């Protein structure tokens, strides 16, 4: 059993799989996919033909959390001897992505299911490819990964036939394709720098709010002090007659 674009978009676990929660995830990703298209209008796509009847879709998927960062997603389809389907959506598919969710959760699972593009695996850590993601994917399921899902959806929505794909494809070699892809270490440096910048901005915002709060408190204390000062009763002026009476009393005592 091989993976296809159509299958991945509908249910990557395959027919007969228990996929109750999968529908919820798919609905969430469908909405996020549409939100990305609302913001970016379209994804940048290049199609490469490296060997006969093998097509590589290189799609730049925008990060949903890091501004100006685009993940490299490559979807490969083959008119393999195992496929009798005329629609390219049902041809055998393989994939790879340099997004953290793919690397840390699904890279090994894709390899185990023979769905990883082995000739491009140098862009992601060897450890992620060879070791199980015991914490993030303990059941070793080939579930939905966002960037792969978005790429497959985009291909399905925008390409109608293999003739269209063939006309838009460019003949290149593997080395040329690899040069177009960002290394995972570079992706992480960009994300870490962005997180640091956001953390510093939050710190500055907290300091600003604290300063404004202290200014308000000082202003209130000054207003309260001024009100109390105004409320202190003033002594009534002593009349001339009262002064004479006080003086006379003092004289008698003497």
Domain that holds residue 79: 5-182
The pLDDT of residue 251: 53
| Residue 10 and residue 76 in one domain | yes
Q: Would 244 be classed as within a structural domain?
A: no
Q: Would 254 be classed as within a structural domain?
A: no
Q: Which of 143, 165, 112, 189 is nearest to 24 (CA)?
A: 143
Q: Which of 54-58, 188-192, 196-200, 229-233 has the lowest mean pLDDT?
A: 229-233
Q: Would 232 be classed as within a structural domain?
A: no
**Structural domain total, the chain:** 2
| Final residue in a domain of this structure, among 118, 152, 182 | 182
| Residue 73 and residue 189 in one domain | no
| Residue 91 and residue 38 in one domain | yes
The pLDDT of residue 38: 95
| Residue 193 and residue 121 in one domain | no
The pLDDT of residue 64: 94
| Residue 161 and residue 56 in one domain | yes
Q: Would 168 be classed as within a structural domain?
A: yes
Query: 140 and 132 in contact (C-beta within 8 Å)?
Result: yes
Better-scored residue on pLDDT, 15 or 147: 147
Q: What is the mean pLDDT of residues 189-213?
A: 86
Query: 115 and 141 in contact (C-beta within 8 Å)?
Result: no
Biggest distance spanned by C-alpha atoms of the chain:
134
| Residue 43 and residue 76 in one domain | yes
Q: Which two tokens stand for residue 180?
A: 């177009």
pLDDT tier, 45 (very low <50, low <70, confident <90, very high otherwise) = very high
Asked whether the predicted pLDDT for residue 2 surpasses 70, the reply is yes
Q: Would 126 be classed as within a structural domain?
A: yes
pLDDT digits (tens, 9 = 90+) for 226-241: 666 666 565 555 555 5
| Residue 84 and residue 199 in one domain | no
Helices and strands, counts by H and E, the chain: 10, 5
Query: 168 and 47 in contact (C-beta within 8 Å)?
Result: yes
Percent share of the chain, pLDDT over 90: 59
Please classify residue 41 by burial: count the beta carbons closer than 10 Å to its beta carbon, then call 0-12 exposed, 13-18 middle and 19+ buried: exposed
């Amino acid at each position: 059993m091989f993976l296809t674009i159509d299958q991945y978009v509908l249910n990557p676990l395959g027919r007969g799989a228990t996929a109750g929660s999968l529908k919820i995830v798919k609905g969430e990703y469908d909405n996020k996919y549409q939100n990305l298209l609302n913001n970016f209008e379209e994804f940048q796509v290049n199609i490469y033909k490296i060997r006969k009847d093998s097509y590589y879709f290189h799609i730049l998927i925008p990060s949903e959390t890091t501004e100006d960062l685009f993940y490299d997603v490559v979807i490969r389809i083959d008119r393999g001897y195992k496929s009798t389907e005329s629609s390219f959506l049902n041809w055998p598919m393989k994939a790879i992505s340099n997004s953290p969710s793919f690397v840390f959760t699904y890279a090994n699972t894709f390899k185990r299911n023979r769905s990883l593009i082995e000739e491009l695996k140098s862009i992601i850590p060897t450890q992620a490819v060879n070791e199980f993601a015991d914490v993030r994917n303990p059941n070793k399921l080939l579930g939905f990964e966002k960037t792969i899902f978005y790429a497959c959806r985009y291909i399905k929505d925008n390409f109608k036939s293999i003739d269209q794909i063939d006309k838009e494809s460019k003949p290149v070699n593997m080395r040329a394709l690899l040069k177009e892809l960002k290394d995972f270490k570079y992706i992480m440096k960009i994300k870490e720098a962005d997180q640091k910048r956001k953390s510093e901005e939050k710190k500055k915002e907290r300091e600003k709010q604290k300063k404004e709060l202290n200014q308000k408190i000082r202003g209130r204390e000054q207003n309260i002090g001024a009100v109390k000062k105004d409320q202190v009763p003033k002594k009534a002026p002593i009349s001339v007659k009262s002064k004479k009476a006080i003086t006379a009393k003092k004289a008698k005592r003497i």
